[in-house]
Every structure is written in structure tokens, then in C-alpha cells.
Structure 1
Amino acid sequence: MKAKDVLGRAGERVAADYLEDLGIRVIDSNWRCPSGEIDLVALDGAELVIVEVKTRRSLRYGDPLEAVTAAKVARLRTLAVVWARAHSHVMGALRIDAVGIVMDGRGEPVVDHLKGVG
């Protein structure tokens, strides 16, 4: 596995723990289909939450959340419907969240969570 993939997986674990601490239940991770990938799928009450996680080692190339573009959010909305069909989940309320994580290896990861990014 490439170093960036290892960092990405570590960030997804941090994000999942963070969300669980908020009472948001993570029900799937790293779900893939021919159209793309969803990092985390969660439930916040009855609301289906699709979570895009971006992890970096520093802010040298900008904040990780800057990488969550409008096109990415649109793709996640489409993937949410595909995920729901594949899991026989009745679609109700849907929210797209973004979690940015900076893990510099010197201290605790810094987590930034944006609810309802699109």
C-alpha cells in the first residue's frame, strides 16, 4: 500500500472515531462501486450522512477541506443513491459532510468537520 493510502486510511479511522464520539453512527466505510467510492456512510438520527474524508500531513499545500469541490459533492450525492439502493436503505434525509484531518505525526490529529457541505 502506498504511503498516501496508509495516511488516508488512518485519517478515515480518526474521522470515524470522531463522528462516533459525536453520536453519529458509522455504518459503512470505503464502499466502492464502478462510479466511485464513499469514504464513510453514517446515520445521524434518521439522516443518512455521506462523509468525504481528506487527510494531509501538513497545511503546506492548503487545508484538506479545500479539496472537497462542488463536483466531488455532486458525485457523492449520486453515490449516496447508489449506496442506498445496494443496501436496501430507504432514502429519507441526506447530508454530505466533509472531514479534514491534519496528522503531522507530532501530536494528536487536528479534525475539522463541516456538516452539510452541499
Structure 2
Amino acid sequence: MTTTRAVTDGPPPDRRALGRRGEDVAAEHLAARGLTVIERNWRCREGELDLVAAEGDRLVVAEVKTRSGTGFGLPAEAVTRGKAARIRRLAQRWLAERHAAGGSGFAEVRFDVLAVLVTRGAAPQVEHYEGAF
């Protein structure tokens, strides 16, 4: 007997839930460190920024990678050079959109990676790589 799964625009529901959980944990982590999350899951036709936060006059664009185990590698290893380049382009679009709407007011931009490991029966672990790329 074969089973089929409907093709959807994105990961299966359990992976989406894991990703949302990781982003929630990452946003809480940033807030606990004094950053203000100003945007979550900002999208344009070229992609998505997971978290955009402010730390004083510094804009922090955070890529969140969440895993339920390390069988496929550590979460942070999923941020390749190509992914980093795309996130930089998306950040430029985000800033341009903000500027067109009346300003952004940020003196600098930092790109962070938050690697979240969510395992059953344990508190989520967060590794925060500031200025990762």
C-alpha cells in the first residue's frame, strides 16, 4: 500500500510548528537581552526575514534555525553563504521600504543567527551568534 501526501506551499505542519516554536523562543531570547522585536516573518517576493529587532540605534536582522535534533547537523550550519547573501538583500529591501514610509533611523545593521534546539522533555537551547555574517 502506498500513501501520498498533498503537496503544499511549505514544510509539513509539524515542521511549521517547530519553526514557529523556534521563532517564539528566539524572540523571547532577544527580548530578554534588551532588544525590541519590531517585525516577525516579514515577507516580500524574494523571501522572508525571520526577526527584525532594534538594539538602540542598531538594526538586528536575525535568522532563526530550529531543529529537534542534530541528526542533520547543528541548526546554525543551515545558514550558508547563499542564504546569508539573500538575507542581506532582503534587509536592504526592508530598509528601503521603511525609508520610503518615513525613515528607519538606524545607524548600523547587524546580522545574527539564532540556533534553537527543541528536544522532547527539555527546555529549548538557544545559541546566539551575533554578527554572524
TM-score (norm 2): 0.84
Gaps of 5+ in 1: none
2:130 is matched with which residue?
A: 115
Using the aligned pairs only, state the percent identity. 42
* Correspondences of 1:8-27 after superposition (within 5 Å): 8-27=19-38
1:94 is matched with which residue?
A: 109
Q: Secondary structure at the match of 1:87?
A: helix
Aligned residues: 118
Aligned AA (1:62): G
Aligned AA (1:110): Q
1:61 is matched with which residue?
A: 72
Q: In 1, Cα distance between the equivalents of 2:27 and 2:127?
A: 13
Q: Deviations over 1:5-57 (max 9, x none)?
A: 11001100000000000001110000000111000000111111110000000
Q: In 2, Cα distance between the equivalents of 1:81 and 1:68?
A: 18
1:49 aligns with 2:60: yes
Kindly report structure 1 stretches of 4+ aligned residues shifted beyond 4 Å.
none
1:104 aligns with 2:119: yes
TM-score (norm 1): 0.95
8 Å CA contact retained: 1:55, 1:102: yes
Aligned AA (1:71): G
Q: In 2, Cα distance between the equivalents of 1:102 and 1:34?
A: 29
